[in-house]
Amino acid sequence: MKDNYIGVIDSGMGGLTVVNILRKKYPQENILFFGDTANVPYGDKSPEEIKHLSGRIINFLNKYPLQAIIIACNTIDSNAGKYLKEISNIPIYNIIKPTCIKACQLTKNKRIGIMATTAAVKSNAYKKELLNLDNSLHIFQKDCPKLVPLIESGHFDKDDPLIYEAVKNYLDDLLTKNIDTLILGCTHYPLLTAIFEELAANINIVSSSNEAVQYYSKNNKDNHNKQGEELYWVSANSDMFQDNAQKFLQKPIKVKEITIE
Ligand code: DGL
């Protein structure tokens, strides 16, 4: 193991959309990805379960040489973000606030749609943060429980009718609200960028994965003395994860399965 990794945590594949952008911005940083695939999806769980599951990831990662942890999961940030900051020895970077700031900058008609997991929608974290930034906004939330399980089982190609129809059904509802800005409030959804670009071609799409990295990069320069190592750790199903991850990242990677308490 090397040193000073940027930790990226999620329940699964969504974290890779953050790793992908992070790697382009930081060619030489060491990155440690952790995906809690034994417990994915987090989006159907209670706030207490999400706190417990994500808390144990932080306690586990606290033992490793990390310079920062990016919460690459809106569901974790919305239900446990504050708690994780309290228990972590390592600086934590959140995802929801920077995403809201970007959406506020882009909207002209002040009508913003959010697609996210059920637990993230129920928490109202996006709604509260957006209204805090601008209380004249109209916010429309849509929870999309089918998307994460489909993506985790390998359905993320634009030509895959299962995922295409699922996205279309969720999105159609939001598009009737005359939104001009759509927040992809789950890091799994940027795996479906090609579908969103087709179905929501005329509106601003704000990717929470992108905004999480932009926020991190405002505060941190690339460390040019590093080796650019990438570690991929998951808590279950490493073979399937590796296949899907390689398909998305378009490069070979080695995924290690590890058990955490
Ligand atoms: N990728 C996670 C997010 O951004 C959620 C996935 C899940 O439901 O486990 O919310």
Residue 9 sits at φ, ψ, to 5 deg, of: -120, 145
Residue owning tokens 């073979």: 239
Q: CB-based burial of residue 86 (10 Å sphere; 0-12 exposed, 13-18 middle, 19+ buried)?
A: exposed
**How many angstroms does the Cα of residue 136 sit away from the middle of ligand 1?**
28
Query: What are 59-101's pLDDT values in tens digits?
Result: 999 999 999 999 999 999 999 999 999 999 999 999 999 999 9
224, pLDDT greater than 80:
no
Looking at the chain, the whole-number percentage of residues with pLDDT higher than 70 is 98
Please state, in angstroms and rounded to a whole number, the distance separating the CA atoms of residues 129 and 92. 18
Is residue 156 classed as helix, strand or coil in its secondary structure? coil
pLDDT band at 3; cut points 50, 70, 90:
confident
Catalytically annotated residues: 73, 186
Query: What are 11-43's pLDDT values in tens digits?
Result: 999 999 999 999 999 999 999 999 999 999 999
**How many angstroms does the Cα of residue 74 sit away from the middle of ligand 1?**
6
DSSP codes, 173-239: HHHTTT-SEEEE-STTGGGGHHHHHHHTTTSEEEEHHHHHHHHHHHH----TTS---EEEEESS-HH
Ligand 1 touching residue 117 (CB < 6 A)? yes
- Per the rule left: phi > 0, alpha: psi between -120 and 50, beta: everything else, 33 is beta
Q: H or E segment at 30?
A: strand 30-35
**How many angstroms does the Cα of residue 229 sit away from the middle of ligand 1?**
25
Ligand 1 touching residue 74 (CB < 6 A)? yes
Residue 126 contacts residue 185 (beta carbons within 8 Å): yes
CA 40 to ligand 1: nearest atom: 9
Ligand 1 touching residue 75 (CB < 6 A)? yes
Q: What is the pTM of this model?
A: 0.97
Predicted local distance difference test score (pLDDT) of residue 227: 76
